[in-house]
Protein backbone atom coordinates (compact mmCIF):
# COMPACT_ATOMS: atom_id res chain seq x y z
CA UNK A 1 0.00 0.00 0.00
CA UNK A 2 1.29 3.45 -0.91
CA UNK A 3 2.51 5.45 2.06
CA UNK A 4 0.53 8.55 2.96
CA UNK A 5 2.06 11.93 2.31
CA UNK A 6 2.24 13.96 5.49
CA UNK A 7 3.32 17.33 6.82
CA UNK A 8 4.30 18.30 10.35
CA UNK A 9 3.94 21.89 11.53
CA UNK A 10 5.90 22.83 14.64
CA UNK A 11 9.30 21.35 15.43
CA UNK A 12 9.66 22.00 19.13
CA UNK A 13 10.84 19.48 21.72
CA UNK A 14 7.80 17.33 20.92
CA UNK A 15 7.26 17.91 17.21
CA UNK A 16 10.86 17.46 16.10
CA UNK A 17 11.14 13.79 17.13
CA UNK A 18 7.51 13.03 16.24
CA UNK A 19 8.08 14.23 12.69
CA UNK A 20 11.29 12.24 12.65
CA UNK A 21 9.43 9.03 13.43
CA UNK A 22 7.11 9.66 10.49
CA UNK A 23 10.01 10.07 8.10
CA UNK A 24 11.85 7.03 9.46
CA UNK A 25 8.69 4.96 9.02
CA UNK A 26 8.71 5.75 5.32
CA UNK A 27 6.13 8.53 5.14
CA UNK A 28 6.94 11.25 2.63
CA UNK A 29 7.27 14.08 5.14
CA UNK A 30 7.33 17.86 4.76
CA UNK A 31 7.85 20.19 7.70
CA UNK A 32 7.36 23.82 8.64
CA UNK A 33 8.71 25.66 11.65
CA UNK A 34 8.52 29.32 12.51
CA UNK A 35 12.31 29.33 12.84
CA UNK A 36 13.38 28.12 9.39
CA UNK A 37 16.82 26.98 10.55
CA UNK A 38 15.14 24.35 12.73
CA UNK A 39 13.20 23.01 9.76
CA UNK A 40 16.35 22.94 7.62
CA UNK A 41 18.20 21.01 10.34
CA UNK A 42 15.35 18.50 10.59
CA UNK A 43 15.21 18.07 6.80
CA UNK A 44 18.92 17.33 6.65
CA UNK A 45 18.74 14.86 9.54
CA UNK A 46 15.66 12.98 8.34
CA UNK A 47 15.81 13.43 4.56
CA UNK A 48 12.54 15.36 4.49
CA UNK A 49 11.49 18.66 2.94
CA UNK A 50 11.58 21.99 4.79
CA UNK A 51 8.90 24.42 3.63
CA UNK A 52 8.64 28.20 3.75
CA UNK A 53 4.98 28.37 4.86
CA UNK A 54 2.32 26.14 6.42
CA UNK A 55 0.43 26.32 3.14
CA UNK A 56 3.40 24.99 1.18
CA UNK A 57 3.85 22.17 3.68
CA UNK A 58 0.18 21.19 3.47
CA UNK A 59 -0.03 21.13 -0.32
CA UNK A 60 -0.53 17.64 -1.69
CA UNK A 61 -0.55 15.98 1.71
CA UNK A 62 -3.04 13.42 2.98
CA UNK A 63 -2.51 14.37 6.62
CA UNK A 64 -1.14 17.52 8.22
CA UNK A 65 -0.08 17.41 11.87
CA UNK A 66 0.31 20.49 14.05
CA UNK A 67 2.11 20.68 17.38
CA UNK A 68 2.62 24.28 18.42
CA UNK A 69 2.20 26.37 21.56
CA UNK A 70 -1.39 27.41 22.19
CA UNK A 71 -4.73 28.32 20.60
CA UNK A 72 -3.41 31.48 18.93
CA UNK A 73 -0.36 29.66 17.58
CA UNK A 74 -2.61 27.02 16.03
CA UNK A 75 -4.80 29.67 14.42
CA UNK A 76 -1.72 31.43 13.03
CA UNK A 77 -0.66 28.34 11.05
CA UNK A 78 -4.14 27.15 10.06
CA UNK A 79 -5.78 30.34 8.81
CA UNK A 80 -4.75 33.08 6.38
CA UNK A 81 -3.42 33.17 2.83
CA UNK A 82 -0.38 31.08 3.79
CA UNK A 83 -2.25 28.84 6.22
CA UNK A 84 -2.80 25.10 6.20
CA UNK A 85 -6.44 25.23 5.13
CA UNK A 86 -5.62 26.98 1.88
CA UNK A 87 -3.02 24.37 1.03
CA UNK A 88 -4.93 21.22 1.96
CA UNK A 89 -6.27 19.12 -0.88
CA UNK A 90 -9.87 17.90 -0.72
CA UNK A 91 -10.60 15.10 1.77
CA UNK A 92 -7.30 15.59 3.61
CA UNK A 93 -7.08 15.47 7.41
CA UNK A 94 -5.76 18.05 9.86
CA UNK A 95 -4.58 16.51 13.14
CA UNK A 96 -3.78 18.90 15.99
CA UNK A 97 -1.44 17.54 18.68
CA UNK A 98 -1.29 20.90 20.47
CA UNK A 99 -2.90 21.08 23.90
CA UNK A 100 -5.63 23.68 23.28
CA UNK A 101 -9.14 24.52 24.37
CA UNK A 102 -11.96 22.19 23.38
CA UNK A 103 -13.66 25.23 21.83
CA UNK A 104 -10.79 25.61 19.38
CA UNK A 105 -11.05 21.94 18.44
CA UNK A 106 -14.71 22.40 17.55
CA UNK A 107 -13.88 25.60 15.65
CA UNK A 108 -11.19 23.88 13.61
CA UNK A 109 -13.45 20.93 12.85
CA UNK A 110 -16.08 23.30 11.47
CA UNK A 111 -13.47 25.20 9.44
CA UNK A 112 -12.15 21.97 7.93
CA UNK A 113 -15.64 20.94 6.87
CA UNK A 114 -16.06 24.24 5.02
CA UNK A 115 -12.89 23.46 3.04
CA UNK A 116 -13.93 19.87 2.33
CA UNK A 117 -11.49 18.39 4.84
CA UNK A 118 -11.55 16.55 8.17
CA UNK A 119 -10.20 17.22 11.66
CA UNK A 120 -8.97 15.21 14.63
CA UNK A 121 -8.02 16.87 17.91
CA UNK A 122 -5.23 14.73 19.32
CA UNK A 123 -3.39 16.19 22.32
CA UNK A 124 -0.57 14.02 23.62
CA UNK A 125 0.74 12.95 27.01
CA UNK A 126 4.20 11.67 27.78
CA UNK A 127 6.36 14.75 27.52
CA UNK A 128 9.62 15.18 25.66
CA UNK A 129 10.85 11.71 26.65
CA UNK A 130 7.67 10.14 25.32
CA UNK A 131 8.08 11.94 22.01
CA UNK A 132 11.76 11.03 21.68
CA UNK A 133 11.10 7.37 22.47
CA UNK A 134 7.93 7.10 20.38
CA UNK A 135 5.71 6.10 23.30
CA UNK A 136 3.20 8.94 23.56
CA UNK A 137 -0.39 8.55 24.69
CA UNK A 138 -2.78 10.30 22.29
CA UNK A 139 -6.30 11.39 23.25
CA UNK A 140 -8.46 11.92 20.18
CA UNK A 141 -11.74 13.52 19.22
CA UNK A 142 -13.42 13.10 15.84
CA UNK A 143 -15.10 10.60 13.54
CA UNK A 144 -14.18 6.93 13.76
CA UNK A 145 -13.48 6.59 10.03
CA UNK A 146 -11.11 9.57 10.08
CA UNK A 147 -9.40 8.33 13.24
CA UNK A 148 -8.86 4.98 11.53
CA UNK A 149 -7.35 6.77 8.53
CA UNK A 150 -4.72 8.66 10.53
CA UNK A 151 -3.96 5.99 13.15
CA UNK A 152 -1.26 4.20 11.09
CA UNK A 153 0.73 7.44 10.98
CA UNK A 154 0.27 8.35 14.65
CA UNK A 155 1.13 4.81 15.66
CA UNK A 156 4.79 5.36 14.79
CA UNK A 157 5.26 7.66 17.80
CA UNK A 158 2.54 6.38 20.14
CA UNK A 159 2.12 3.55 22.59
CA UNK A 160 -1.61 4.20 22.96
CA UNK A 161 -4.26 6.03 20.92
CA UNK A 162 -7.86 6.36 22.06
CA UNK A 163 -10.84 7.90 20.25
CA UNK A 164 -12.97 9.44 22.99
CA UNK A 165 -15.86 10.78 20.94
CA UNK A 166 -16.63 13.80 18.80
CA UNK A 167 -14.30 16.70 18.10
CA UNK A 168 -13.30 18.38 21.34
CA UNK A 169 -13.38 15.23 23.44
CA UNK A 170 -9.67 14.65 22.99
CA UNK A 171 -8.92 18.08 24.43
CA UNK A 172 -11.41 17.58 27.26
CA UNK A 173 -9.70 14.32 28.20
CA UNK A 174 -6.33 16.11 28.19
CA UNK A 175 -7.79 18.66 30.63
CA UNK A 176 -8.81 15.81 32.93
CA UNK A 177 -5.31 14.35 32.58
CA UNK A 178 -3.70 17.64 33.56
CA UNK A 179 -5.99 18.10 36.55
CA UNK A 180 -5.04 14.62 37.77
CA UNK A 181 -1.33 15.33 37.37
CA UNK A 182 -1.72 18.69 39.09
CA UNK A 183 -3.53 17.06 42.00
CA UNK A 184 -0.80 14.46 42.41
CA UNK A 185 1.92 17.12 42.38
CA UNK A 186 0.06 19.24 44.92
CA UNK A 187 -0.44 16.24 47.20
CA UNK A 188 3.23 15.28 46.90
CA UNK A 189 4.35 18.82 47.72
CA UNK A 190 2.14 18.99 50.80
CA UNK A 191 3.28 15.55 51.96
CA UNK A 192 6.96 16.43 51.65
CA UNK A 193 6.37 19.70 53.48
CA UNK A 194 4.76 17.77 56.33
CA UNK A 195 7.71 15.39 56.38
CA UNK A 196 10.14 18.30 56.56
CA UNK A 197 8.23 20.00 59.39
CA UNK A 198 8.10 16.70 61.23
CA UNK A 199 11.88 16.44 61.18
CA UNK A 200 12.01 13.49 58.80
CA UNK A 201 14.88 13.04 56.35
CA UNK A 202 13.35 13.93 52.97
CA UNK A 203 15.69 11.64 51.01
CA UNK A 204 14.75 8.70 53.21
CA UNK A 205 11.05 9.48 52.90
CA UNK A 206 11.26 9.55 49.11
CA UNK A 207 13.14 6.25 49.03
CA UNK A 208 10.74 4.54 51.44
CATH value at residue 86: 3.40.50.720
174 catalytic per annotation: yes
Q: Is residue 147 part of a domain?
A: yes
Task: Output the pLDDT for position 182.
Answer: 80
Q: How many domains does the chain have?
A: 1
Q: Is residue 156 part of a domain?
A: yes
Q: Is residue 186 part of a domain?
A: no
Nearest to 156 by CA among 130, 134, 126: 134
pLDDT at 39 over 80: yes
Which residue out of 41, 89, 174, 197 is catalytically annotated? 174
The CA-atom distances, in angstroms, between 189 and each of 99, 127, 177, 185, 197 are 25, 21, 19, 6, 12
Structural domain for 82, as ranges? 5-178
Q: Is residue 23 part of a domain?
A: yes
Q: What is the mean pLDDT of the chain?
A: 96
Q: Is residue 159 part of a domain?
A: yes
Q: Is residue 204 part of a domain?
A: no
Q: Is residue 67 part of a domain?
A: yes
Q: Whole-angstrom Cα distance, residue 187 to residue 172? A: 23
Q: Give the tens place of pLDDT for each residue, 92-150.
A: 999 999 999 999 999 999 999 999 999 999 999 999 999 999 999 999 999 999 999 99
Tell me, rounded to whole angstroms, the distance of Cα 53 from its chain centroid.
Answer: 19
Task: Output the pLDDT for position 109.
Answer: 99
pLDDT at 2 over 80: no
Do the Cβ atoms of 94 and 108 come closer than 8 Å?
A: yes
Report helix, strand or coil for 140: strand
Q: Is residue 36 part of a domain?
A: yes
Amino acid sequence: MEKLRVAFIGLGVMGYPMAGYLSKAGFETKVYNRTKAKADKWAEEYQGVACETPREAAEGCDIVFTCVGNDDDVRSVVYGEEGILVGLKADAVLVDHTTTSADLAVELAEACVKYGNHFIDAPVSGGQAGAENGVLTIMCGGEQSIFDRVSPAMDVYAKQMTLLGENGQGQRCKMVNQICIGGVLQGLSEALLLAQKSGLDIAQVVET
